[in-house]
Protein backbone atom coordinates (compact mmCIF):
# COMPACT_ATOMS: atom_id res chain seq x y z
CA UNK A 1 0.00 0.00 0.00
CA UNK A 2 2.81 2.42 0.87
CA UNK A 3 4.46 1.70 -2.49
CA UNK A 4 1.19 2.40 -4.30
CA UNK A 5 0.77 5.70 -2.47
CA UNK A 6 4.35 6.64 -3.32
CA UNK A 7 3.76 5.93 -7.01
CA UNK A 8 0.57 8.03 -6.95
CA UNK A 9 2.44 10.88 -5.26
CA UNK A 10 5.19 10.79 -7.88
CA UNK A 11 2.61 10.84 -10.67
CA UNK A 12 0.88 13.87 -9.12
CA UNK A 13 4.22 15.65 -8.73
CA UNK A 14 5.21 14.90 -12.32
CA UNK A 15 1.86 16.05 -13.72
CA UNK A 16 2.06 19.26 -11.65
CA UNK A 17 5.53 20.01 -12.96
CA UNK A 18 4.41 19.38 -16.54
CA UNK A 19 1.42 21.68 -16.05
CA UNK A 20 3.69 24.39 -14.74
CA UNK A 21 6.10 24.01 -17.66
CA UNK A 22 3.28 24.40 -20.20
CA UNK A 23 2.31 27.79 -18.74
CA UNK A 24 5.70 29.41 -19.39
CA UNK A 25 5.50 32.42 -21.70
CA UNK A 26 8.39 34.51 -22.96
CA UNK A 27 7.80 38.09 -24.04
CA UNK A 28 9.68 41.32 -24.62
CA UNK A 29 9.43 44.95 -23.50
CA UNK A 30 9.33 47.36 -26.43
CA UNK A 31 10.82 50.51 -24.97
CA UNK A 32 10.27 54.03 -26.22
CA UNK A 33 7.33 55.49 -24.36
CA UNK A 34 9.30 55.86 -21.14
CA UNK A 35 12.44 57.45 -22.63
CA UNK A 36 13.92 60.89 -21.91
CA UNK A 37 12.49 61.35 -18.45
CA UNK A 38 14.12 64.78 -18.32
CA UNK A 39 11.86 65.86 -21.17
CA UNK A 40 8.38 65.66 -19.67
CA UNK A 41 5.95 65.53 -21.19
CA UNK A 42 8.26 65.89 -24.22
CA UNK A 43 7.56 65.89 -27.94
CA UNK A 44 6.16 62.71 -29.45
CA UNK A 45 8.44 61.06 -32.05
CA UNK A 46 11.29 63.28 -30.91
CA UNK A 47 11.83 62.62 -27.21
CA UNK A 48 9.83 59.40 -27.03
CA UNK A 49 7.55 57.14 -29.06
CA UNK A 50 5.59 53.93 -28.72
CA UNK A 51 6.39 50.77 -30.70
CA UNK A 52 5.90 50.79 -34.45
CA UNK A 53 4.06 48.18 -36.47
CA UNK A 54 7.42 47.18 -37.95
CA UNK A 55 8.76 46.37 -34.48
CA UNK A 56 5.69 44.30 -33.69
CA UNK A 57 6.07 42.44 -36.98
CA UNK A 58 9.67 41.52 -36.19
CA UNK A 59 8.92 40.10 -32.74
CA UNK A 60 5.76 38.37 -33.94
CA UNK A 61 7.79 36.63 -36.67
CA UNK A 62 10.21 35.49 -33.98
CA UNK A 63 7.35 33.90 -32.07
CA UNK A 64 6.80 36.35 -29.21
CA UNK A 65 3.21 36.38 -27.94
CA UNK A 66 3.43 39.00 -25.17
CA UNK A 67 4.86 42.52 -25.25
CA UNK A 68 5.13 45.22 -22.60
CA UNK A 69 4.44 48.84 -23.55
CA UNK A 70 6.07 51.25 -21.07
CA UNK A 71 4.69 54.76 -20.61
CA UNK A 72 5.13 57.75 -18.30
CA UNK A 73 2.29 58.94 -16.09
CA UNK A 74 3.07 62.61 -16.87
CA UNK A 75 2.46 61.96 -20.58
CA UNK A 76 -0.88 60.19 -20.40
CA UNK A 77 -2.26 62.54 -17.70
CA UNK A 78 -0.80 66.01 -17.95
CA UNK A 79 -2.17 67.14 -14.58
CA UNK A 80 -3.17 65.00 -11.62
CA UNK A 81 -6.74 63.66 -11.50
CA UNK A 82 -7.57 65.33 -14.82
CA UNK A 83 -8.87 63.58 -17.93
CA UNK A 84 -6.44 61.33 -19.75
CA UNK A 85 -4.67 62.89 -22.71
CA UNK A 86 -6.78 61.59 -25.59
CA UNK A 87 -4.02 61.91 -28.19
CA UNK A 88 -1.56 59.99 -26.04
CA UNK A 89 -4.06 57.23 -25.27
CA UNK A 90 -4.84 57.05 -28.97
CA UNK A 91 -1.18 56.34 -29.79
CA UNK A 92 -1.06 53.51 -27.26
CA UNK A 93 -4.36 52.14 -28.55
CA UNK A 94 -2.92 51.93 -32.04
CA UNK A 95 -0.15 49.67 -30.76
CA UNK A 96 -2.61 47.52 -28.80
CA UNK A 97 -4.74 47.14 -31.96
CA UNK A 98 -1.71 46.23 -34.10
CA UNK A 99 -0.77 43.65 -31.49
CA UNK A 100 -4.30 42.21 -31.48
CA UNK A 101 -4.18 41.68 -35.24
CA UNK A 102 -0.97 39.71 -34.72
CA UNK A 103 -2.38 37.71 -31.80
CA UNK A 104 0.01 39.38 -29.35
CA UNK A 105 -1.04 40.17 -25.79
CA UNK A 106 -0.05 43.46 -24.18
CA UNK A 107 1.07 44.53 -20.72
CA UNK A 108 0.60 48.25 -20.08
CA UNK A 109 3.34 49.37 -17.70
CA UNK A 110 3.68 52.71 -15.89
CA UNK A 111 7.39 53.56 -15.59
CA UNK A 112 7.50 56.17 -12.82
CA UNK A 113 9.27 54.33 -9.97
CA UNK A 114 6.55 55.38 -7.51
CA UNK A 115 6.64 59.07 -8.37
CA UNK A 116 5.07 61.85 -10.43
CA UNK A 117 7.09 64.83 -11.67
CA UNK A 118 5.73 68.34 -11.20
CA UNK A 119 7.74 71.44 -12.07
CA UNK A 120 10.88 69.34 -12.40
CA UNK A 121 10.52 67.70 -8.97
CA UNK A 122 9.71 64.00 -8.41
CA UNK A 123 7.08 63.60 -5.69
CA UNK A 124 6.51 60.20 -4.06
CA UNK A 125 3.01 58.80 -4.47
CA UNK A 126 1.23 59.06 -1.14
CA UNK A 127 2.48 62.48 -0.04
CA UNK A 128 0.78 65.85 0.01
CA UNK A 129 1.82 66.73 -3.57
CA UNK A 130 0.84 63.40 -5.20
CA UNK A 131 -1.81 61.54 -3.27
CA UNK A 132 -2.83 57.92 -3.39
CA UNK A 133 -6.17 59.11 -4.69
CA UNK A 134 -4.34 60.68 -7.65
CA UNK A 135 -2.73 57.32 -8.38
CA UNK A 136 -5.99 55.41 -8.02
CA UNK A 137 -7.68 57.97 -10.27
CA UNK A 138 -5.31 57.49 -13.19
CA UNK A 139 -5.55 53.70 -13.04
CA UNK A 140 -9.32 53.74 -12.84
CA UNK A 141 -9.37 55.83 -16.01
CA UNK A 142 -6.75 53.68 -17.76
CA UNK A 143 -8.62 50.50 -16.91
CA UNK A 144 -11.79 52.03 -18.33
CA UNK A 145 -10.01 53.22 -21.49
CA UNK A 146 -8.55 49.77 -22.29
CA UNK A 147 -11.21 47.45 -20.84
CA UNK A 148 -12.62 46.72 -24.30
CA UNK A 149 -9.39 45.20 -25.65
CA UNK A 150 -9.35 41.41 -25.19
CA UNK A 151 -5.59 41.20 -25.81
CA UNK A 152 -4.65 43.13 -22.67
CA UNK A 153 -2.57 40.66 -20.62
CA UNK A 154 -2.51 42.88 -17.57
CA UNK A 155 -2.04 46.32 -16.02
CA UNK A 156 1.42 46.81 -14.50
CA UNK A 157 0.52 49.62 -12.13
CA UNK A 158 4.07 50.80 -11.37
CA UNK A 159 7.48 49.56 -12.51
CA UNK A 160 10.29 49.57 -9.95
CA UNK A 161 8.86 51.50 -6.98
CA UNK A 162 11.65 52.32 -4.53
CA UNK A 163 12.50 54.42 -1.47
CA UNK A 164 8.84 55.12 -0.76
CA UNK A 165 9.73 56.42 2.72
CA UNK A 166 6.65 56.76 4.96
CA UNK A 167 4.27 56.20 2.03
CA UNK A 168 4.33 52.41 1.99
CA UNK A 169 3.93 50.74 -1.38
CA UNK A 170 1.51 48.11 -0.03
CA UNK A 171 -1.24 50.64 0.81
CA UNK A 172 -0.82 52.49 -2.48
CA UNK A 173 -1.02 49.27 -4.49
CA UNK A 174 -4.10 48.05 -2.62
CA UNK A 175 -6.04 51.24 -3.35
CA UNK A 176 -5.06 51.08 -7.02
CA UNK A 177 -6.27 47.47 -7.26
CA UNK A 178 -9.70 48.45 -5.94
CA UNK A 179 -9.88 51.44 -8.30
CA UNK A 180 -9.08 49.26 -11.31
CA UNK A 181 -11.74 46.74 -10.33
CA UNK A 182 -14.38 49.48 -10.42
CA UNK A 183 -13.74 49.68 -14.19
CA UNK A 184 -12.35 46.26 -15.15
CA UNK A 185 -12.93 42.84 -13.64
CA UNK A 186 -11.33 40.73 -16.37
CA UNK A 187 -7.69 41.68 -16.74
CA UNK A 188 -4.81 40.76 -14.48
CA UNK A 189 -3.21 43.37 -12.23
CA UNK A 190 0.58 43.22 -12.08
CA UNK A 191 2.27 44.36 -8.87
CA UNK A 192 6.00 45.08 -8.87
CA UNK A 193 8.01 44.55 -5.73
CA UNK A 194 9.57 47.37 -3.73
CA UNK A 195 13.29 48.22 -3.98
CA UNK A 196 13.22 48.35 -7.80
CA UNK A 197 11.33 45.01 -7.90
CA UNK A 198 14.66 43.32 -7.21
CA UNK A 199 14.27 39.55 -7.13
CA UNK A 200 17.32 38.93 -4.94
CA UNK A 201 15.95 41.11 -2.09
CA UNK A 202 12.27 40.27 -2.54
CA UNK A 203 11.72 38.78 0.90
CA UNK A 204 13.36 41.73 2.68
CA UNK A 205 11.43 44.44 0.84
CA UNK A 206 8.26 42.92 -0.63
CA UNK A 207 7.04 40.11 1.59
CA UNK A 208 4.02 42.13 2.78
CA UNK A 209 2.64 42.27 -0.75
CA UNK A 210 1.38 38.71 -0.33
CA UNK A 211 -1.45 40.23 1.75
CA UNK A 212 -2.86 42.31 -1.13
CA UNK A 213 -6.51 41.56 -1.94
CA UNK A 214 -8.03 41.51 -5.41
CA UNK A 215 -11.80 40.87 -5.66
CA UNK A 216 -11.12 38.94 -8.89
CA UNK A 217 -8.06 37.11 -7.55
CA UNK A 218 -5.95 37.99 -10.60
CA UNK A 219 -2.82 39.52 -9.09
CA UNK A 220 0.50 38.70 -10.74
CA UNK A 221 3.65 39.68 -8.84
CA UNK A 222 6.53 41.06 -10.88
CA UNK A 223 10.26 41.00 -10.16
CA UNK A 224 13.22 42.29 -12.15
CA UNK A 225 16.45 40.34 -12.42
CA UNK A 226 19.77 41.37 -13.94
CA UNK A 227 23.07 39.57 -13.55
CA UNK A 228 25.68 42.33 -13.21
CA UNK A 229 27.23 43.27 -9.88
CA UNK A 230 25.32 46.53 -9.44
CA UNK A 231 21.93 44.96 -10.37
CA UNK A 232 21.20 47.69 -12.95
CA UNK A 233 21.29 45.74 -16.21
CA UNK A 234 23.72 48.25 -17.69
CA UNK A 235 26.63 45.78 -17.68
CA UNK A 236 29.23 48.49 -17.41
CA UNK A 237 31.99 45.97 -16.69
CA UNK A 238 33.14 42.70 -18.24
CA UNK A 239 31.89 39.24 -17.41
CA UNK A 240 34.97 38.55 -15.31
CA UNK A 241 34.83 41.91 -13.53
CA UNK A 242 31.22 41.13 -12.62
CA UNK A 243 32.43 37.85 -11.12
CA UNK A 244 29.63 36.08 -12.95
CA UNK A 245 29.11 32.35 -13.36
CA UNK A 246 26.71 30.07 -15.22
CA UNK A 247 24.25 30.01 -12.32
CA UNK A 248 24.25 33.76 -11.64
CA UNK A 249 20.72 34.20 -12.97
CA UNK A 250 19.33 31.30 -10.97
CA UNK A 251 20.91 32.61 -7.79
CA UNK A 252 19.45 36.07 -8.32
CA UNK A 253 15.89 34.98 -9.09
CA UNK A 254 15.60 32.09 -6.63
CA UNK A 255 14.35 34.14 -3.63
CA UNK A 256 11.45 35.43 -5.74
CA UNK A 257 10.60 31.99 -7.11
CA UNK A 258 10.64 30.41 -3.66
CA UNK A 259 8.45 33.21 -2.28
CA UNK A 260 5.87 32.60 -5.01
CA UNK A 261 5.75 28.89 -4.29
CA UNK A 262 5.65 29.20 -0.53
CA UNK A 263 2.77 31.69 -0.73
CA UNK A 264 0.94 30.08 -3.66
CA UNK A 265 1.18 33.24 -5.79
CA UNK A 266 1.47 33.88 -9.51
CA UNK A 267 4.53 35.71 -10.77
CA UNK A 268 6.45 37.02 -13.74
CA UNK A 269 10.01 38.26 -14.22
CA UNK A 270 9.25 41.54 -15.93
CA UNK A 271 12.79 42.60 -16.82
CA UNK A 272 15.93 40.59 -17.52
CA UNK A 273 18.63 40.66 -20.16
CA UNK A 274 22.29 40.19 -21.05
CA UNK A 275 24.69 42.11 -23.31
CA UNK A 276 26.02 40.86 -26.63
CA UNK A 277 29.62 41.58 -25.56
CA UNK A 278 30.56 38.12 -24.25
CA UNK A 279 29.24 34.68 -25.22
CA UNK A 280 29.35 33.55 -21.60
CA UNK A 281 26.43 35.83 -20.74
CA UNK A 282 24.30 33.81 -23.16
CA UNK A 283 24.82 30.64 -21.14
CA UNK A 284 23.83 32.50 -17.97
CA UNK A 285 20.59 33.56 -19.64
CA UNK A 286 19.92 30.10 -21.04
CA UNK A 287 20.18 28.47 -17.60
CA UNK A 288 18.11 31.28 -16.08
CA UNK A 289 15.28 30.75 -18.56
CA UNK A 290 15.41 26.98 -18.15
CA UNK A 291 14.98 27.47 -14.40
CA UNK A 292 11.97 29.76 -14.91
CA UNK A 293 10.41 27.39 -17.43
CA UNK A 294 10.82 24.43 -15.08
CA UNK A 295 9.01 26.45 -12.42
CA UNK A 296 6.22 27.70 -14.69
CA UNK A 297 7.09 31.39 -14.37
CA UNK A 298 6.85 33.66 -17.41
CA UNK A 299 9.38 36.35 -18.28
CA UNK A 300 9.73 39.52 -20.34
CA UNK A 301 13.09 40.37 -21.92
CA UNK A 302 14.16 43.92 -21.09
CA UNK A 303 13.61 47.01 -23.18
CA UNK A 304 14.26 46.51 -26.87
CA UNK A 305 12.88 48.09 -30.01
CA UNK A 306 14.26 50.40 -32.68
CA UNK A 307 14.96 53.33 -30.35
CA UNK A 308 17.13 51.14 -28.13
CA UNK A 309 18.85 49.03 -30.78
CA UNK A 310 22.29 50.50 -30.00
CA UNK A 311 22.11 49.22 -26.43
CA UNK A 312 24.21 46.02 -26.11
CA UNK A 313 21.38 44.41 -24.10
CA UNK A 314 18.72 45.04 -26.75
CA UNK A 315 17.58 42.20 -29.00
CA UNK A 316 16.31 44.42 -31.82
CA UNK A 317 18.47 44.11 -34.97
CA UNK A 318 21.36 46.56 -35.18
CA UNK A 319 22.23 47.59 -38.76
CA UNK A 320 19.93 44.74 -39.88
CA UNK A 321 22.11 42.20 -38.04
CA UNK A 322 20.32 39.82 -35.69
CA UNK A 323 21.52 39.89 -32.09
CA UNK A 324 23.09 36.77 -30.57
CA UNK A 325 20.71 36.89 -27.58
CA UNK A 326 17.82 36.15 -29.95
CA UNK A 327 19.18 32.69 -30.71
CA UNK A 328 18.94 31.80 -27.02
CA UNK A 329 15.49 33.33 -26.60
CA UNK A 330 14.14 31.38 -29.55
CA UNK A 331 15.00 28.13 -27.83
CA UNK A 332 12.11 28.94 -25.49
CA UNK A 333 9.49 30.11 -28.00
CA UNK A 334 7.90 28.67 -31.11
CA UNK A 335 7.29 30.90 -34.12
CA UNK A 336 3.83 30.62 -35.70
CA UNK A 337 2.45 31.67 -39.05
CA UNK A 338 0.69 35.04 -38.85
CA UNK A 339 -2.93 35.34 -39.94
CA UNK A 340 -4.26 38.85 -39.51
CA UNK A 341 -7.24 39.20 -37.19
CA UNK A 342 -10.38 41.13 -38.11
CA UNK A 343 -11.02 44.47 -36.41
CA UNK A 344 -13.79 47.04 -36.65
CA UNK A 345 -13.23 50.76 -36.14
CA UNK A 346 -15.28 53.10 -33.98
CA UNK A 347 -15.66 56.83 -34.69
CA UNK A 348 -16.42 57.81 -31.11
CA UNK A 349 -14.38 60.69 -29.70
CA UNK A 350 -14.79 59.87 -26.00
CA UNK A 351 -12.24 57.74 -24.12
CA UNK A 352 -13.88 54.43 -25.07
CA UNK A 353 -11.95 51.72 -26.92
CA UNK A 354 -11.42 52.85 -30.52
CA UNK A 355 -11.32 49.27 -31.76
CA UNK A 356 -13.36 46.20 -31.01
CA UNK A 357 -11.22 43.11 -31.49
CA UNK A 358 -13.54 40.39 -32.72
CA UNK A 359 -11.30 37.30 -32.75
CA UNK A 360 -8.72 37.78 -30.02
CA UNK A 361 -8.26 34.99 -27.51
CA UNK A 362 -7.88 35.75 -23.82
CA UNK A 363 -4.20 35.21 -22.89
CA UNK A 364 -3.10 32.35 -20.71
CA UNK A 365 -2.14 33.41 -17.21
CA UNK A 366 0.60 31.90 -15.09
CA UNK A 367 -0.47 28.91 -12.98
CA UNK A 368 -2.81 29.34 -10.03
CA UNK A 369 -0.51 27.38 -7.73
CA UNK A 370 2.99 26.02 -7.58
CA UNK A 371 4.64 22.87 -6.31
CA UNK A 372 7.29 23.49 -3.67
CA UNK A 373 9.54 20.76 -2.30
CA UNK A 374 11.55 22.03 0.68
CA UNK A 375 15.22 21.17 0.55
CA UNK A 376 15.28 20.35 -3.15
CA UNK A 377 18.61 20.92 -4.89
CA UNK A 378 18.02 23.68 -7.40
CA UNK A 379 21.54 24.23 -8.71
CA UNK A 380 23.96 21.84 -10.44
CA UNK A 381 27.08 20.81 -8.55
CA UNK A 382 29.39 22.33 -7.51
CA UNK A 383 26.93 25.15 -6.89
CA UNK A 384 24.24 22.82 -5.57
CA UNK A 385 21.83 23.46 -2.76
CA UNK A 386 19.57 26.28 -1.68
CA UNK A 387 20.66 29.87 -1.73
CA UNK A 388 19.88 32.65 0.73
CA UNK A 389 20.93 36.12 -0.49
CA UNK A 390 22.55 38.65 1.76
CA UNK A 391 20.32 41.71 2.34
CA UNK A 392 21.49 44.71 0.33
CA UNK A 393 21.25 47.62 2.75
CA UNK A 394 24.58 49.36 2.33
CA UNK A 395 24.81 53.03 1.45
CA UNK A 396 26.95 52.08 -1.52
CA UNK A 397 24.21 49.97 -3.11
CA UNK A 398 21.54 52.54 -2.29
CA UNK A 399 23.57 55.09 -4.20
CA UNK A 400 23.82 52.74 -7.16
CA UNK A 401 20.08 52.15 -7.16
CA UNK A 402 19.32 55.87 -7.11
CA UNK A 403 21.81 56.43 -9.89
CA UNK A 404 20.01 53.80 -11.94
CA UNK A 405 16.76 55.74 -11.69
CA UNK A 406 18.28 59.13 -12.41
CA UNK A 407 20.41 58.09 -15.36
CA UNK A 408 18.43 55.47 -17.20
pLDDT score of 380: 35
Q: Are 271 and 300 in contact (CB under 8 A)?
A: yes
Mean pLDDT of the chain: 81
Long-range CB contacts (within 8 A, 24+) of 335-338: 335/61, 335/62, 335/63, 336/63, 336/103, 338/60, 338/61, 338/102, 338/103
Is residue 37 domain-resident? yes
Alpha-carbon gap, residue 61 to 384, rounded angstroms: 38
Residue 142 has pLDDT above 90, yes or no: yes
Answer with the residue of higher pLDDT: 310 or 391.
Answer: 310
- pLDDT digits 0-9 by tens, 50-100: 999 999 999 999 999 999 999 999 999 999 999 999 999 999 999 999 999
What is the CA 173 to chain-centroid distance, rounded?
16
Q: Are 322 and 390 in contact (CB under 8 A)?
A: no
Is residue 19 domain-resident? no
Q: Output phi, psi for 7, to 5 deg.
A: -65, -45
Residue 198 has pLDDT above 80, yes or no: yes
What's the pTM? 0.79
- pLDDT digits 0-9 by tens, 330-356: 999 864 444 555 544 333 334 444 333
pLDDT score of 326: 94
Alpha-carbon gap, residue 179 to 131, rounded angstroms: 14
- pLDDT digits 0-9 by tens, 222-271: 999 999 888 888 899 999 998 899 999 999 999 999 999 999 999 999 99
Answer with the residue of higher pLDDT: 367 or 185.
Answer: 185
pLDDT score of 339: 52
Sign of the alpha-carbon dihedral angle for 319, 323, 327, 329: negative
* DSSP category for residue 321: B
Neighbours of 224 (CB within 10 A): 27
Q: Are 327 and 315 in contact (CB under 8 A)?
A: no
First and final C-alpha spacing in the chain: 61
Q: Domain span at residue 191?
A: 29-407
Q: Are 140 and 183 in contact (CB under 8 A)?
A: yes
Beta-carbon-side half-sphere exposure of residue 322 (alpha carbons within 13 Å): 11
The CA–CA distances, whole Å, from 202 to 195, 296, 392 equal: 8, 18, 11
Is residue 139 domain-resident? yes
Alpha-carbon gap, residue 52 to 62, rounded angstroms: 16
Report the DSSP pairing between strands 298-304 and 267-272. Answer: parallel
Is residue 1 domain-resident? no
Is residue 6 domain-resident? no
In the chain, % of residues over pLDDT 70: 76
Largest Cα–Cα separation, the chain: 73
Q: How many domains does the chain have?
A: 1
Is residue 348 domain-resident? yes
pLDDT score of 117: 95
- Give the domain CATH number at 316: 3.20.20.80
Residue 25 has pLDDT above 60, yes or no: yes
- pLDDT digits 0-9 by tens, 284-331: 999 999 999 999 999 999 988 888 888 899 999 988 789 999 999 999
Alpha-carbon gap, residue 281 to 237, rounded angstroms: 12
Query: Considering only CA atoms, which of 325, 307, 306 is closest in space to residue 315?
Result: 325
pLDDT score of 17: 42
Beta-carbon-side half-sphere exposure of residue 379 (alpha carbons within 13 Å): 19
Buried b (16+ CB within 10 A) or exposed e, 373-399: eeeeebbeeeeeeebebeebeeeebee
Residue 212 has pLDDT above 70, yes or no: yes
pLDDT score of 35: 86
Is residue 366 domain-resident? yes
Is residue 152 domain-resident? yes
Q: Give the DSSP per-residue string, 374-395.
A: TT---S-TTS-S---PPP---H
Q: Output phi, psi for 126, to 5 deg.
A: 115, -15
- Tell me the Ramachandran region of residue 49: left when phi exceeds 0, alpha when psi lies from -120 to 50, beta otherwise: beta
pLDDT score of 164: 94
Alpha-carbon gap, residue 193 to 114, rounded angstroms: 11
Amino acid sequence: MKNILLVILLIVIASTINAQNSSFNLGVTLGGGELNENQLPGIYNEHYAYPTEEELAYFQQKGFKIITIPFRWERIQKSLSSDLDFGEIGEIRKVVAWAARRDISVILSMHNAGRYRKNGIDYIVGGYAVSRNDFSNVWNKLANAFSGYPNIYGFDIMAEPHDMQAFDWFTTAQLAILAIREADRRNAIIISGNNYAASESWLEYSDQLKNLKDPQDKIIYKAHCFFDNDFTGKYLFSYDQNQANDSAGILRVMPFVQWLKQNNKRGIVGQFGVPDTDQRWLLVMEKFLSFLKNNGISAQYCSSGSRLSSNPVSVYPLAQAERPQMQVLQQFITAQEWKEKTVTTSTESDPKPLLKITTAVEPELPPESFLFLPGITLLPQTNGGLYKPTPKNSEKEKGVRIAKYNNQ
